[in-house]
Amino acid sequence: MAKPKKRYVCQACGSVSHRWQGQCTDCAEWNTLVEDAPATVFSLKHDLSSGGRAVEFVDLDKPGEMPVRQKTGLAEFDRALGGGLVPGSAILMGGDPGIGKSTLLLQAAAKVAREGHSVAYVSGEEASGQVRMRAARLGLSDAPVKLAAATGVRDILTTLGQMETPKFLVIDSIQTMHSDTIEGAPGTVSQVRGCAFELIRYAKENGVALVLVGHVTKDGNIAGPRVLEHMVDVVMSFEGERSHQYRILRALKNRFGAVDEIGVFAMAGDGLEEVENPSMLFLSGREQPMAGSAVFPAMEGTRPVLVEIQALIVRLQSGATPRRAVVGWDNGRLAMLLAVLESRCGLSFSSAEVYLNVAGGYRLSDPAADLAVAAALVSALADKPLPDRSVWLGEISLAGEVRPVAHGGVRLREAAKLGFGKGFGPSDTKNGSSGLDYAGLGQLANLVDRVMSS
């Protein structure tokens, strides 16, 4: 049997040579070659348990450096990120076309650049001229952002390697990027994955905060491979109705912070304006109480936001199947509430069309909105307005009970601060210092009694 050959493994790059040398031929480090346990060709091919480099294990309590976050100066953007940009991290920002992703990122880039940091903005969708025109419209032409229109990742990385490393790099969008090492047109799964991998590697190696803009599909997911969301550190979504002014920036995944904070912006003629106090934003400014309208104190991260829920019930004469249409809330949840109202409270919606709308283009997913939706429905059905300046909160169970919700106190206090006088909700919400006239409704039927008899 042939004598196993000696192997020397470079401790820096892992390359293997069969002769000891002072300098590694691959990475040019000195004195890094160390003799390795003899391995046969067979074992190298089939056994992964030897022949590798030593991996360093550390204790969990070993002090590590916390990355210093770079504030962009757009406070709402920083808030949604959990306090600012983390150097060497990758952020994926998704959102419907025309929602304002490019506008937001250009504004953030300009803010960071004006602080004296190096910033690069690479647009694969628009020509430089178009981006410059937008910058002029936003009043940002004088910001020292380095702007390029390019789609080749090799070109981009080569150029970035030759200039001052940017602190903040925007790639708009990852679906337009192209890598010449991969077959296929830009936007295909393998291209998106390959380009993102290279760009993220560049960002991690150079301590760059990278933002990749991502297209979304019809149902609101980020287009391309799901694995893209696994590759990045932060996934953000920029939401809103295009026909409405308000935009919400939300983190869906954040390796460096919480995911429940949002940033609120308003799209104006000269770009996105920050909305620092969004609590009143989604209320229609009506003075007179109207039937079918209820106010719900929603929570966005740590901030309460008051939202108006509107319901419209149209009685049908014929036996046609009545429609149920929902904007800003979950269809299935509306069906459930209608069923509970029918079976536990004896109301009938079966021959009526039901329309439900959350005002201002807001999207609700909080189950605590159940009671407010039920109140709007009952008020619309009875054609009687709910008590003036009242807020409603509580989750409704299939048995028709009004159940407690998280942060009841905070929500009610915010409503009181904004001039609301009455609160309705589960019996055991700690109403303590909220300053509202609070009434607990144990059962949904109590709500119906109150509205019908008012």
Binding site for ATP, by residue number, is 95-102
Which listed option, ligand TYD, Mg ion, none, makes contact with residue 99 (CB within 5 to 8 Å by class)? Answer: ligand TYD
Residue list for the binding site: 95-102
How is residue 333 written in tokens?
A: 């949840």
Site for ligand TYD in 283-312 (CB under 6 A): none
The contacts of residue 7 (CB under 8 Å, 6+ apart) are: 16, 17, 18, 35, 36, 38, 39, 51
Nearest distance in Å: CB 114, ligand TYD: 18
The continuous run of DSSP H or E covering 90 comes out as strand 90-95
Q: Is 270 in the site for ligand TYD (CB under 6 A)?
A: yes
Q: Is 103 in the site for ligand TYD (CB under 6 A)?
A: yes
Q: Which stretch binds ligand TYD (CB under 6 A): 263-271, 280-288, 414-422, 440-448?
A: 263-271
Q: Which stretch binds ligand TYD (CB under 6 A): 9-17, 81-89, 97-105, 413-421?
A: 97-105
Q: Which stretch binds ligand TYD (CB under 6 A): 112-120, 268-276, 356-364, 392-400?
A: 268-276
Q: Is 97 in the site for ligand TYD (CB under 6 A)?
A: yes
Question: Could you tell me the CA-to-CA distances from 105 to 53, 91, 210, 274, 358 in Å, in that order?
Answer: 42, 12, 11, 13, 28
> Closest residue (Cβ) to Mg ion?
102
Tell me which residue has tokens 């979304």.
216
Which listed option, ligand TYD, Mg ion, none, makes contact with residue 53 (CB within 5 to 8 Å by class)? Answer: none
Maximum C-alpha span of the chain: 99
Residue 172 or residue 395: which is nearer to ligand TYD going by CB? 172
Q: How far apart are the C-alpha atoms of 28 and 392, rounded to whole Å?
A: 70
The count of residues interacting with ligand TYD (CB under 6 A) is 15
Q: Is 101 in the site for ligand TYD (CB under 6 A)?
A: yes
Are 360 and 282 in contact, with CB atoms under 8 Å apart?
Answer: yes
Nearest distance in Å: CB 103, Mg ion: 8
Are 429 and 409 in contact, with CB atoms under 8 Å apart?
Answer: yes
Site for ligand TYD in 216-245 (CB under 6 A): none
Site for Mg ion in 101-120 (CB under 5 A): 102
**The dihedral of CA 160, 161, 165, 170: what is its sign?**
positive
Which listed option, ligand TYD, Mg ion, none, makes contact with residue 134 (CB within 5 to 8 Å by class)? Answer: ligand TYD
Residue 175 or residue 293: which is nearer to ligand TYD going by CB? 175
Q: How far apart are the C-alpha atoms of 33 and 21, rounded to whole Å?
A: 7
Sheet of 7-10: strands edge to edge? 16-17, 7-10, 33-36
Which listed option, Mg ion, ligand TYD, none, makes contact with residue 207 (CB within 5 to 8 Å by class)? Answer: none
Which listed option, Mg ion, ligand TYD, none, makes contact with residue 257 (CB within 5 to 8 Å by class)? Answer: none
Query: Residue from 69, 79, 117, 134 that binds ligand TYD (CB under 6 A)?
Result: 134
Residue 6 or residue 244: which is nearer to ligand TYD going by CB? 244
The three-point CA angle 290-291-294 to 5° equals 80
Site for ligand TYD in 76-95 (CB under 6 A): 95
Are 207 and 83 in contact, with CB atoms under 8 Å apart?
Answer: no
- In terms of DSSP bridges, do strands 90-95 and 16-17 run parallel, antiparallel, or are they unpaired? unpaired
Residue 102 or residue 310: which is nearer to Mg ion going by CB? 102
The three-point CA angle 15-162-188 to 5° equals 70
Question: Could you tell me the CA-to-CA distances from 85 to 120, 122, 163, 208 in Å, in that order?
Answer: 15, 18, 21, 9
Q: Which stretch binds ligand TYD (CB under 6 A): 68-76, 98-106, 282-290, 352-360?
A: 98-106
Nearest distance in Å: CB 269, ligand TYD: 6
The contacts of residue 357 (CB under 8 Å, 6+ apart) are: 309, 310, 311, 312, 326, 327, 328
Chain residues that interact with Mg ion, rule: CB under 5 A:
102
By CB under 6 A, name the binding residues for ligand TYD. 95, 97-103, 134, 137-138, 267, 269-271
